Amino acid sequence: MKLIVAVHFDGAQANAAAVAFEAWDAAEAEKTYVSRIAHVEKAVRGELDLRELPCVMQLLREHNLEPELVLIDGFVHLDADDTPGLGQHLYHALGGSVPVVGVSKKSLPGLSSQFEVMREEETPPLVVTCAGLDIGAAKVRLRSMHGRKRVPTLMKLAARLAKNAD
């Protein structure tokens, strides 16, 4: 099973959600999971925001999830030099055995067009970074995901679940 995870912060609390799927072009989730995190530390100004990491790890533990791949809304690395982002930290927290694919709607100055994926015409590209999986394979899989819009259907679902879990 592959998982798309999303975290929504609500003050000092958070909701972590996961959408499980098997086929990259799946229109619906196989199963969904939500965890409420009672307390999340504040982000440290000037440092990489890793508040999502313990939330995702709690979600995985709470629901006994052992995914074959995790897709996040964000960056695995922050530039072409592989400066670690949230996804790289998640990859290491999972023992380096579970590929992590990061998908972002915005780019960073250190990421060239080789990380971009066009899902529909006349919209800005998505930016893909990954660990444990070839970038070319990650881009092909993202392109094949269900949904006629820029952001794949199941990614939207994960975000909605995290935001509306209350």
Question: For residue 133, what is the domain's CATH number?
Answer: 3.30.2170.10
pLDDT at residue 37, as a whole number: 95
Per-residue pLDDT tens digits for 8-36: 999 899 999 999 999 999 999 999 999 99
For 94, other C-beta atoms within 10 Å of its C-beta total 19
DSSP string, the chain: -EEEEEEEEETTEEEEEEEEESSTT-SS-SEEEEEEES--PPPPTTS---THHHHHHHHHHHTT---SEEEEES-SBSSTT--B-HHHHHHHHTTT-S-EEEEESS--TT--GGGEE-SSTTSPPEEEEEESS-HHHHHHHHHHSS-SSSS-HHHHHHHHHHHT--
Question: What whole-number distance in Å separates Cα of residue 27 and Cα of residue 8?
Answer: 23
Per-residue pLDDT tens digits for 66-84: 999 999 999 999 988 889 9
pLDDT at residue 72, as a whole number: 97
Judged by average pLDDT, the poorest of 24-28, 116-120, 144-148, 152-156 is 116-120
Give the residue from 51, 55, 49, 86 showing the smallest Cα distance to 71.
86
- Strand 69-73 relative to strand 100-104, pairing: parallel
pTM (2 decimals)? 0.94
pLDDT at residue 48, as a whole number: 86
Question: Per the structure, how many domains does the chain have?
Answer: 1
Give the residue from 55, 67, 98 showing the smallest Cα distance to 3.
67
Dihedral sign, Cα of residue 94, residue 159, residue 118, residue 120: positive
Q: Is the pLDDT of residue 166 over 70?
A: no
User: What range does the domain containing 135 cover?
Assistant: 2-163
Q: Is the pLDDT of residue 120 over 90?
A: no
pLDDT at residue 28, as a whole number: 96
